[in-house]
Structure 1
Amino acid sequence: MHVEIIYLMAEAPVLLSAVVCQYKQCGQDTAGEDRTEVRTFEPEQTGLKETKALVNWHASGDATFHRRCWVELTEKCKRTEDGVSAEEIKMIKEAKKTAEYFDCDERVKSEAKRVSQMIMTSSHCIAFTGAGISTSAGIGDFRGKTGKWTEKDRAKATGKPTKSKGKRPKGNKGVIFENLRPTYTHEALCKLLQMGLLRYVISQNTDGLHRLSGIPRDSISELHGNSFHEKCEKCGARYERPYRVKSRMENVVPKKCKNCRINHRTGRKCERKGCDGYLMNTIINFGDDLEDEPMDRASEHAQKNDLVLCLGTSLTVSPANELVEEGKKPVRMLICNRQPTDFDPMCYKINSETKSQVGSRVFGDCDHLMREVMKCILPQDALQEWEDGREDRMEEYNKQRESVD
């Protein structure tokens, strides 16, 4: 059972969820407690009989648990004497790969107070962002329970097509990038930058939402490119467009990239007098080298930082993820992501001098955390004015994008 409740708060409408734990031995509401959400094979695919199941699985393979119930369930799968069926063991093992964790509201608020103090006492705070900050804008992530690579792995494991009528994301196919708008997190980072509390943004995203939110070009390194930018392959001139830059094969002399084997040319030519070089998209595909200039600027700020806000990223993509360790020691790091990362232990380290925890680790949605952080940083009147200004900012975003219906 899933009940959606809308609470109208002063700063903005917030959508909360009241979800019943689907572990049959529990069945209690998860509201106010840490929870875990998973997606696995569809019960129909594995042949699981409902009467023998320990979980009330949705037909799509989705399930939500108290975090403690999820731990108990996974432990049961290790002990055959508990009578867990082979079909359900298979489902739970797959579900473990997709598990997303959400801290309770009380813990998020508590950590937000710590994080806001860390930000306000930092001398060179930077942000390192990934796909997770854009999911609420309509962009799919990669390794979440409905992530692009997760879905591909699951399909490969079953060898069967999905039969559920529930929608399953297929990467970002069908997403109209021109219609996407900055999330609360995008806008919060821009505000912190304007206040001088944030010095630089390093992003792995290509959706263009950081730049659309108002972050200046010299304050961000978009390591993997920007879908709205193109550059001249001859003179290096760059152009920022109001539309997503795509290759138009009918208008372009194809030239496959030697690294990724994909054609980067867009069909347009450089506008600089006397150049006439072909324009290319700026997207870094698998196999491509990162551009030197944004990587050098990112490394420069990473080395100066005394606090890095890692938001919506699994921190698995190299060499970008190596940047978060380049700061002043001991490295102070906030990680907000739904799934664990290899860098989580760094957040819990204790400073030998102050005997306090160096960083912060929050499981859940970036918008949830950043909303609480901004409450702690901005006075109530200033917060209200800024949040009420989103409607005007939306109009400005709309002017900067060409709609493509």
Structure 2
Amino acid sequence: MAAGGLGRSERKAAERVRRLREEQQRERLRQVSRILRKAAAERSAEESRLLAESEDLVTELQGRRRRREGLKRRLQEVCDDPDELRRKVRELAAAVRNSKHLVVYTGAGISTAACIPDYRGPNGVWTLLQKGQSVSAADLSEAEPTLTHMSIARLHKQKLVQHVVSQNCDGLHLRSGLPRSAISELHGNMYIEVCTSCVPNREYVRVFDVTERTALHRHQTGRACHKCGTQLRDTIVHFGERGTLGQPLNWEAATEAASKADAILCLGSSLKVLKKYPRLWCMTKPPSRRPKLYIVNLQWTPKDDGAALKLHGRCDDVMGLLMQELGLEIPPYSRVL
């Protein structure tokens, strides 16, 4: 009993010592942090001595600050001044004219002009959720293709763009008149539901959002195939899921387009998801044989360092200037089919 009691006492004493050391370490960290926030000229001799004795803590705190500042810079929206943007657009126009196989990758940033929120911008869905703020559901059925959507459709019609790979589910590329064969909607289309029992899969293109009853790993829409009676499912690919539908995901065409591309134009995408798809970047090819990359985004992207050109501007502004430079009119959108 005595030996057992002594062991428990020793363990309790050791735990008290451990907690005391941790609290002392936290207090030292707070002290060093407060001192580092002061200008060097404002620090007392005692504070300077404490910093000299705490090299490891100083290095750790300075590293944390650099990471915070780097993250803050990446989230900031930067705009090129008008003259610089026009110069860059002229360079982009030359690349579009000279490209033999141009592929366009689009993200949520091309739809913000249609009042559809982007994902990682200052007021984007992900940004607001990270801050603990609520995100209102918008009725997208009334949204119309933006100047950027209509420009892309015209560029495809002129054979200047061969294929479009989109992360968006809003259906605006199809409404712009872009043919189904020319687009891969990697994360689905909220206006398309399918019967996976019919061969080939039977598609239903709706004028309403088919995802009202669906969610992660729950894709049945509540409607049935008129041919075989099987429950229809949506086409949306959520985070944590792997898309398997041929259409509208159209991975085969996206992969083929990427393999042929000599230039890729990224519009309004943070590229934080797209970068995870090596097939889209020809990573198996030597760097010199990979397509040249042109990026239009207000924020930092993980592909910036490898880009031939980065344009800091809003997609509609850049595409409007590009179409002027190419001498092409942007067709107006019409709801009349």
Query: Smaller-chain TM-score range?
Result: 0.7 to 0.9
Q: Which residue of 2 aligns with 1:69?
A: none
Q: Which residue of 1 aligns with 2:157?
A: 194
Deviations 1:85-136 (A, max 9, x none): xxxx9xx958546311111111111111111111111111010000010011
The 3 A distance-change label for structure 1 pair 122 and 96 is closer
C-alpha distance in 1 between matches for 2:76 and 2:204: 40
Contact kept, 8 Å, 1:133 with 1:185, in 2: the verdict is: yes
Q: Which has the higher helix share?
A: 2
Q: Which residue of 2 aligns with 1:56?
A: none
Matched to 1:230, the amino acid is E
Matched to 1:306, the amino acid is D
Q: Which residue of 2 aligns with 1:338?
A: 298
* Residue 111 of structure 2 is aligned to residue 134 of structure 1: yes
* Residue 175 of structure 2 is aligned to residue 222 of structure 1: no
Residue 247 of structure 1 deviates from its aligned partner by 4.0
* Residue 235 of structure 2 is aligned to residue 286 of structure 1: no
Structure 2 portions without partners, runs of 5+: 1-35, 42-64
C-alpha distance in 2 between matches for 1:130 and 1:318: 9
* Residue 128 of structure 2 is aligned to residue 151 of structure 1: yes
Contact kept, 8 Å, 1:223 with 1:291, in 2: the verdict is: no
Q: Which has the higher strand share?
A: 1
- Alignment coverage as a number of residue pairs: 268
Decide which of 259, 263, 266 is 1:307's aligned counterpart. 263
Contact kept, 8 Å, 1:144 with 1:150, in 2: the verdict is: yes
- Could you say which structure has the larger radius of gyration? 2
Q: Which residue of 1 aligns with 2:29?
A: none
C-alpha distance in 1 between matches for 2:86 and 2:274: 32
Contact kept, 8 Å, 1:204 with 1:224, in 2: the verdict is: yes
C-alpha distance in 1 between matches for 2:182 and 2:296: 22
C-alpha distance in 1 between matches for 2:321 and 2:274: 31
Higher relative contact order (CA 8 A, sep 6+): 2
SS at match of 2:131: helix
Matched to 2:230, the amino acid is G
Residue 314 of structure 1 deviates from its aligned partner by 0.8
Q: Which residue of 2 aligns with 1:49?
A: none
Q: Which residue of 2 aligns with 1:277?
A: 230
Contact kept, 8 Å, 2:254 with 2:280, in 1: the verdict is: no
Q: Which residue of 2 aligns with 1:105?
A: 82
Contact kept, 8 Å, 1:204 with 1:223, in 2: the verdict is: yes
Residue 302 of structure 1 deviates from its aligned partner by 0.5
Q: Which residue of 1 aligns with 2:147?
A: 184
Contact kept, 8 Å, 1:103 with 1:362, in 2: the verdict is: yes
Q: Which stretch has the larger CA shift, 95-104 or 203-212?
A: 95-104
Structure 1 portions without partners, runs of 5+: 1-77, 84-88, 156-160, 162-169, 250-255, 348-358, 401-405
| Cα RMSD for the two superposed structures | 2.6
Q: Which residue of 2 aligns with 1:32?
A: none
The 3 A distance-change label for structure 1 pair 212 and 123 is same
The 3 A distance-change label for structure 1 pair 299 and 292 is farther
TM score, norm. by length of structure 1: 0.61
Percent identity between the two aligned chains: 32
Matched to 2:244, the amino acid is E
Residue 266 of structure 1 deviates from its aligned partner by 1.4
TM score, norm. by length of structure 2: 0.73
C-alpha distance in 2 between matches for 1:102 and 1:266: 42
The 3 A distance-change label for structure 1 pair 299 and 118 is same
Decide which of 364, 370, 375 is 2:319's aligned counterpart. 370
